[in-house]
Amino acid sequence: MKVLHLTPAYKPAFIYGGPTMSVARLCEGLQQYQEYNTDNQTTSPLEIEVFCTRANGHTELAFRNGDAQNIDGVKVTYFNRLTKDHTHFSPALLWALWKKIKTDKAQNPGQLIIHIHSWWNLVVIFGALIAKLQNVPIALSPRGMITSYTQTNKNSLAKTFIHKLFGKYLLKNVHLMATSKQEVNDYTKVCQPKSIHVIPNIVELPSLLPQKSTIDGPLFKLLFLSRVEEKKGLNLLLEALAKVEFSWSLSIAGTGSEIYINQLKSQIKELGLYTKVHWLGHQTNEQKYQTIAAHDLLCLTSYNENFANVVIESLAVGTPVLLSEQVGLADYVEKNELGFVCKLDVDAISESLTQAFENKTIRNQISQKSPNLIKQDFEISTLAAQYVQAYRKILAQPQ
């Protein structure tokens, strides 16, 4: 069995944040799964390959067009793109994909799956069309790109046109690889896929994580750690914080559009919160976990979030979380009592912040139990095996 992953960007394009890293971690996890199971003669071997563009924001990664690279054990081929924006139009990639599918189908009929990541860019939309024309099964991980929010938020007219022209047809002919029930609900409001598989993101955690200190300080230290963009609901969090009556500080760790960051800074000034909000900028992997451990609560009040890797990273350290109910992992957090979940409303967020502040005992209990629970529930080999099982089910279905 061969799985060809198609994604607009791949590491080391770290500028794109969580979704790009999630694709890389999945591919690495699948490669590790294959290496650990090479002696198993009862199933066909698993081959993993990635096609992507050289995208790195407005610049390009320093790889030659069409040259395959070994990126942490995964075979990745990078291609030139004509557009430097989020359309990522790459005729070279699409032509190579057409030829690759044709060759692989001839050599190993019925053993190829195209796993597409994201949506609303020309790499994956035309890639899905090519796979459909050649009658190859398509697994789709939307990475939060197929929701009513994303359809109406940016370039809504273009998205509506593409969706009606052939997007909806393609989306009906894919096998959905969702990371949460939230993502399933978002997707099925748009259309019904051929099959649905719900498997969490593979989140690679360091073997040694910083120790979370006991919660007893008078200042409630809050953290936002993610890409700074509109859908993250920072505006709501700031309004909610302006209503609370306890002492707090908020660290904002992440990068984003200068225009939007300036809008937030204006809001902070208008609300009189300027001395309480600190901008930390981009955090490296080494810095990230130290930053999380140094705070009392991670806050993510997103308008829409299909999964949110940072929730797993925070709980792995032992830092409780406060989430809006629109975050994909909200159900998991609520079920396992690992934090506080609220409605997407300023007053509700404010009430949850106060509840979190007042319940130091509960937060200490979360800090003690969450690291082991996360290690157990999000073990890489277990999740990789679930993906492989889903791929085999997809291949067994008529195309």
pLDDT tens-digit map of 168-216: 889 999 999 999 999 999 999 988 999 999 999 999 888 888 878 766 6
Q: Verify that 241 and 177 share a domain, yes or no.
A: no
Alpha carbons 297 and 362: distance in angstroms, whole number = 12
Q: Verify that 70 and 193 share a domain, yes or no.
A: yes
Alpha carbons 394 and 175: distance in angstroms, whole number = 7
Instruction: Write the single-letter amino acid at 98.
Output: W
CA 252 from centroid of its chain's CA atoms: 19
User: Are 79 and 51 within 8 A, CB to CB?
Assistant: yes
∠75-78-79 over CA atoms, to 5°?
145
> How many domains does the chain fold into?
2
* Antiparallel, parallel or unpaired: β 2-6 and 112-117: parallel
Q: Verify that 59 and 91 share a domain, yes or no.
A: yes
Residue 196 within any structural domain of the chain: yes
Q: Verify that 312 and 301 share a domain, yes or no.
A: yes
Q: In the structure, what pLDDT confidence band is assigned to residue 3 with cuts at 50, 70 and 90?
A: very high
pLDDT of residue 163 exceeding 80, the answer is no
Q: What is the pLDDT of residues 361-379, one digit of tens each?
A: 999 999 999 999 999 999 9
Residue 356 within any structural domain of the chain: yes
User: Are 31 and 74 within 8 A, CB to CB?
Assistant: yes
Query: Which CATH number belongs to the domain containing residue 167 in this structure?
Result: 3.40.50.2000
Show the domain range for 343. Answer: 220-377
pLDDT of residue 155 exceeding 70, the answer is no
Q: What is the pLDDT of residues 216-270, one digit of tens each?
A: 678 999 999 999 999 999 999 999 999 999 999 999 999 999 999 999 999 999 9
| 155 SS3 class | coil
Report the percentage of the chain scoring pLDDT > 70: 93
pLDDT of residue 156 exceeding 80, the answer is no
Alpha carbons 225 and 252: distance in angstroms, whole number = 6
Residue 209 within any structural domain of the chain: no
Q: Using the structure block, give the residue that is written with the tokens 């390009």.
A: 60
Residue 210 within any structural domain of the chain: no
Q: Verify that 357 and 383 share a domain, yes or no.
A: no
Q: Verify that 154 and 224 share a domain, yes or no.
A: no
The 3 state secondary structure assigned to 16-85 is HCHHHHHHHHHHHHHHHHHHHCCCCCCCCCCEEEEEEECEECCEECCCCCCCEEEECCEEEEEECCCCCC
Q: Verify that 92 and 16 share a domain, yes or no.
A: yes
Q: What is the pLDDT of residues 70-85, one digit of tens each?
A: 999 999 999 999 998 8
Q: Verify that 70 and 198 share a domain, yes or no.
A: yes
Residue 74 within any structural domain of the chain: yes
261 against 143, higher pLDDT = 261
pTM across the whole model: 0.85
pLDDT of residue 42 exceeding 60, the answer is no
| 229 SS3 class | coil
Q: What is the pLDDT of residues 302-345, one digit of tens each?
A: 999 989 999 999 999 999 999 999 999 999 999 999 999 999 99
pLDDT of residue 151 exceeding 60, the answer is no
**Omega of the bond leading into 12 within 30 degrees of 0 (cis):** yes
Alpha carbons 300 and 228: distance in angstroms, whole number = 11
Q: Verify that 56 and 149 share a domain, yes or no.
A: yes
Name the nearest CA neighbour of 136 among 104, 182, 177.
Answer: 104
End-to-end CA distance of the chain: 16
pLDDT of residue 15 exceeding 90, the answer is no
Q: Verify that 48 and 181 share a domain, yes or no.
A: yes
Residue 42 within any structural domain of the chain: yes
Alpha carbons 322 and 87: distance in angstroms, whole number = 33
Tokens read off for 164: 């009606």
46 burial (CB, 10 Å; 0-12 / 13-18 / 19+) is buried
- Where do the DSSP E strands lie in the chain? 2-6, 47-53, 55-56, 59-60, 68-71, 74-79, 112-117, 138-141, 175-178, 195-198, 220-225, 248-253, 277-279, 297-300, 321-324, 339-342
Residues 90-104 have a mean pLDDT of 98
Residue 215 within any structural domain of the chain: no
Cβ partners under 8 Å of residue 71, min gap 6: 10, 11, 12, 24, 50
SS3 content of the chain, % helix, strand, coil (to 5): 45, 20, 35
Residue 207 within any structural domain of the chain: no
Q: What is the pLDDT of residues 43-76, one digit of tens each?
A: 668 999 999 999 999 899 999 999 999 999 999 9
| Beta partners for residue 222, in sequence order | 250, 297
Alpha carbons 32 and 46: distance in angstroms, whole number = 10
Backbone φ, ψ for residue 225 (5° rounding): -130, 95
pLDDT score of 356 = 98
pLDDT of residue 158 exceeding 90, the answer is no
Q: Verify that 31 and 178 share a domain, yes or no.
A: yes
Q: How many CB atoms lie within 10 A of CB 222?
A: 23
Q: In the structure, what pLDDT confidence band is assigned to residue 167 with cuts at 50, 70 and 90?
A: confident
Alpha carbons 4 and 48: distance in angstroms, whole number = 6
Q: Verify that 364 and 385 share a domain, yes or no.
A: no
pLDDT score of 30 = 96
Q: In the structure, what pLDDT confidence band is assigned to residue 159 with cuts at 50, 70 and 90?
A: low
